[in-house]
């Protein structure tokens, strides 16, 4: 039987996996699917007492944790519209977004609540501490009466005990608004992306088709990306809940050390990551080994033995059980990609946007092409706005089940986001080969016009610079008609090599002529500027480019 309702798919999964583990805080509490259902039922009672109606907005702002998942599911299965907000947003931004989406209920962490004021969010009827479900503030005495503990509330509503037979969720329809997700992108102002249920179902089906047979109700997923971001929400949480898998939330800052430790203990079946994580592992652990074995890697047959050892070590480092690592959210360094393909490490690079819930293109690791981010997913069409899409980059445009409804309360931005024939304009530039594989060239807004009208994509230049020793990451900008590279040096690597900060900068500067030899004449880097601290980043670790333009 085919389910056209996302909520009914969740209802079915909860009933079938009642006693199985559903959500865990890494090295903390674990909830079974039955436990999740009981907490959802409790919140449904509270929603009704608060006067929450179908279609009303419920905002969530907290770090990844089990109750984040519970609150999200409770809102959606009630028929309300969850509005996840990134916990990295500043207080004034949170105030603005909660008001903009017209939220009636707001679930929030204690640490975030400390910087907020209920008076700045007059439309919210009740503020709830996410980890305990206690009320932080309510607009009326009637709402305060709902402050009772979970077991007493469930017992009153279900005197015979709450069981799987009591699970009955709101049945959604494809075009109905499922959630609002505010963009975190690199270009500044956040817009409220209205995603319909068909977009969620399109992505869930993609994950189900590509995951089989490796993911099922015995599978494990480490959720390290922000769940308030569509990439993490969809593929580290929501899809897993529809198949009865076990989600382990990393409740702390996902540093490479913490992530690798979690992988070694949990042994995830699939890994969802941003390129920066893999690139850091490559630079710190893999490249030094490869450099030491350069001679052996040039000898036929012997090179395969060395590469095989490196591959085995990498797979074990990532838990040893996974089917593939799926990368997205940012461009992948070509040198790292080339080496990983040489050792046949099972990874692939996908492409997506919040506006598409999020995936647009994908190819399984053993069918992926170097430099490509895959092919359009089922139910999605992609075209290149170019007179020669295979050779001349043009804007990537999308149409299909995954595409959003528009931006909440922003008709002007919605109109600007679509062509006259209703294709979504991604703002990304790319080409597409004869087999339908997409190759991104950069953001159209980031493109720099060369001295003779050439199109310069700074991401391509940055990929060359980022390969240098002692470079964490770079950003190429136009500065008075010339190209300047802003670089955040790897001072830690320099310290290990016995170099102070000035010596690290000198080493990088000395490599500029070699960098320019790899670049076209019209795209030469004229100057380097060093940053004292890392770039400001979005939650998916992309640089906030707009902060550094001149």
| Range among 187-201, 379-393, 535-549 with highest mean pLDDT value | 379-393
Closest to 285 in 3D by CA, of 320, 264, 250, 313 = 313
pLDDT at residue number 405? 98
Instruction: Quote the crossing angle between the two packed helices 197-211 and 6-16, to the nearest 10°.
Output: 50
> Does position 3 have pLDDT exceeding 60, yes or no?
no
Given a cut of 50, is residue 328 above it in pLDDT?
yes
| pLDDT at residue 79, rounded to an integer | 98
* Residue 331: alpha-carbon gap to chain centroid: 13
When computed from its CA atoms, the radius of gyration of the chain, rounded to whole angstroms, is 24
In this predicted structure, the answer to whether residue 147 has a pLDDT above a threshold of 60 is: no
Query: Measured in whole angstroms, how far is the alpha carbon of residue 140 from the centre of its chain?
Result: 38
Burial category of 370 from C-beta neighbours within 10 Å (exposed 0-12, middle 13-18, buried 19 and up): exposed
DSSP per-residue letters across 158-208 = -TT---GGG-------TTSEEEEEE---TTS---EEEEEHHHHHHHHHHHH
* Predicted confidence (pLDDT) at residue 419 exceeds the cutoff of 90: yes
Give the HSE-up count for residue 205: Cα atoms under 13 Å, Cβ half-sphere.
Answer: 17
pLDDT band at 152 (very low <50, low <70, confident <90, very high): confident
For residue 216, what is the DSSP state?
Answer: S
Q: Is the pLDDT of residue 11 over 70?
A: yes
- Which residues, 6+ apart, have CB-to-CB distance to 148 below 8 Å? none
Give all domains of the chain, ordered by start, each with its CATH number: 11-171+215-249 (3.40.50.12780), 274-443 (3.40.50.12780), 448-547 (3.30.300.30)
Does 333 have pLDDT greater than 70? yes
CB 136 within 8 A of CB 113: yes
Give the helix ranges, DSSP H, for 282-428: 287-292, 302-317, 334-342, 411-416
CB 85 within 8 A of CB 228: yes
**Quick one: which of 450, 443, 492, 213 has its CA closest to 330?**
443
Is residue 149 over pLDDT 80?
Answer: no
Q: Which residue has the higher pLDDT, 348 or 190?
A: 348
Query: Does the pLDDT value for residue 188 go beyond 60?
Result: no
Which one, of 400, 409, 419, lies nearest residue 355 by Cα?
Answer: 400
Q: Quick one: CA dihedral 219, 243, 250, 162, positive or negative?
A: negative
Q: Is the dihedral of CA 397, 399, 404, 407 positive or negative?
A: positive
At 448, the pLDDT band (50, 70, 90 cuts) reads: confident
What stretches of 62-158 adopt beta strand conformation (E)? 81-85, 103-108, 126-129, 135-138
Interval 497-516 mean pLDDT: 93
- Cβ atoms of residues 238 and 204 within 8 Å: yes
Asked if the model's pLDDT at residue 143 lies above 90, the reply is no
Q: Using CA atoms of 259, 260, 263, 265 in order, give the dihedral in degrees to the nearest 10.
A: -110
> Residue 451's pLDDT band (boundaries 50, 70, 90)?
low
Whole-number Å distance between alpha carbons of 297 and 320: 24
Q: Examine the pLDDT at 71 and tell me if it is beyond 60.
A: yes
When pLDDT is cut at 50, 70 and 90, the band that residue 1 belongs to is very low
Residue 47 CB burial class (10 angstroms; 0-12, 13-18, ≥19): buried
- Decide if pLDDT at 418 tops 90: yes
User: Is 503 in contact with 445 (CB distance < 8 Å)?
Assistant: no
Q: Say yes or no to pLDDT of 393 above 70.
A: yes
Check residue 292 and give its pLDDT. 86
The pLDDT score that the predictor gives to residue 550 is: 73
Average pLDDT rounded to a whole number, residues 530-541: 83
């Amino acid at each position: 039987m085919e389910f056209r309702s996302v909520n009914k798919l969740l209802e079915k999964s909860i009933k079938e996996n009642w006693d199985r583990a559903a959500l865990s805080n890494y090295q903390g509490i674990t909830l079974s699917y039955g436990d999740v259902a009981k907490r959802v039922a409790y919140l449904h009672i509270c929603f009704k007492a608060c006067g929450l109606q179908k279609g009303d907005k419920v905002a969530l702002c907290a770090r990844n944790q089990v109750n984040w998942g519970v609150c999200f599911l409770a809102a959606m299965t009630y028929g309300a519209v969850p509005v996840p907000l990134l916990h990295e947003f500043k207080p004034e931004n949170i105030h603005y977004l909660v008001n903009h989406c017209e939220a009636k209920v707001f679930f929030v962490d204690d640490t975030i609540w400390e910087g907020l004021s209920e008076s700045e969010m007059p439309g919210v009827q009740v503020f709830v501490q996410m980890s305990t479900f206690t009320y932080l503030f309510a607009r009326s005495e009637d709402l305060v009466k709902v402050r009772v503990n979970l077991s007493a509330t469930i017992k009153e509503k279900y005197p015979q005990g709450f069981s799987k037979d009591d699970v009955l969720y709101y049945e959604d329809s494809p075009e109905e608004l499922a959630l609002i997700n505010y963009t975190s992108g690199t270009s500044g102002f956040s817009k409220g992306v209205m995603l319909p249920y068909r977009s969620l179902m399109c992505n869930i089906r993609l994950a189900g088709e590509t995951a089989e047979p490796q993911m099922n109700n015995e599978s494990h997923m480490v959720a390290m990306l922000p769940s308030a971001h569509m990439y993490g929400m969809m593929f580290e949480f929501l899809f897993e809940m529809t198949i009865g898998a076990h989600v382990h939330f990393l409740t702390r800052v996902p540093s490479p050390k913490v992530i690798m430790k979690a992988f070694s203990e949990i042994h995830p079946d699939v890994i969802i990551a941003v390129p920066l994580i893999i690139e850091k592992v490559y630079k710190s652990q893999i490249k030094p080994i490869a450099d030491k074995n350069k001679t052996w890697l040039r000898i036929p047959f012997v090179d395969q033995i060395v590469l095989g050892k490196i591959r085995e070590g990498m797979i074990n480092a990532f838990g040893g059980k996974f089917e593939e690592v799926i990368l997205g959210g940012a461009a992948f360094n070509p040198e790292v990609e080339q080496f990983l393909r040489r050792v046949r490490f099972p990874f692939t690079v996908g492409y997506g946007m919040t506006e598409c819930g999020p995936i647009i293109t994908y190819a399984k690791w053993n069918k992926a092409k170097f430099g490509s981010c895959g092919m359009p997913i089922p139910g999605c069409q992609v075209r290149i706005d170019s007179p020669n899409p295979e050779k001349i980059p043009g804007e990537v445009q999308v149409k299909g089940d995954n595409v959003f409804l528009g931006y909440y309360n922003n008709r002007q931005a919605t109109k600007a986001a679509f062509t006259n024939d209703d294709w979504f304009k991604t703002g990304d530039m790319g080409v597409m080969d004869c087999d339908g594989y997409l190759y991104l060239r950069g953001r159209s807004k980031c493109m720099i016009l060369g001295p003779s009208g050439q199109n310069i994509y700074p991401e391509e230049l940055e990929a060359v610079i980022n390969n240098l020793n002692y470079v964490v990451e770079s950003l190429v900008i136009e500065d008075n008609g010339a190209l300047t590279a802003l670089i955040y040096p790897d001072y830690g690597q320099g310290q290990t090599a016995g170099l102070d900060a000035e010596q690290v900068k000198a080493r990088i500067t000395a490599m500029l002529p070699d960098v320019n030899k790899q670049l076209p004449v019209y795209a030469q880097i004229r100057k380097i500027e060093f940053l004292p601290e890392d770039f400001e980043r979005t939650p998916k670790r992309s640089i906030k480019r707009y902060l550094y333009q001149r």
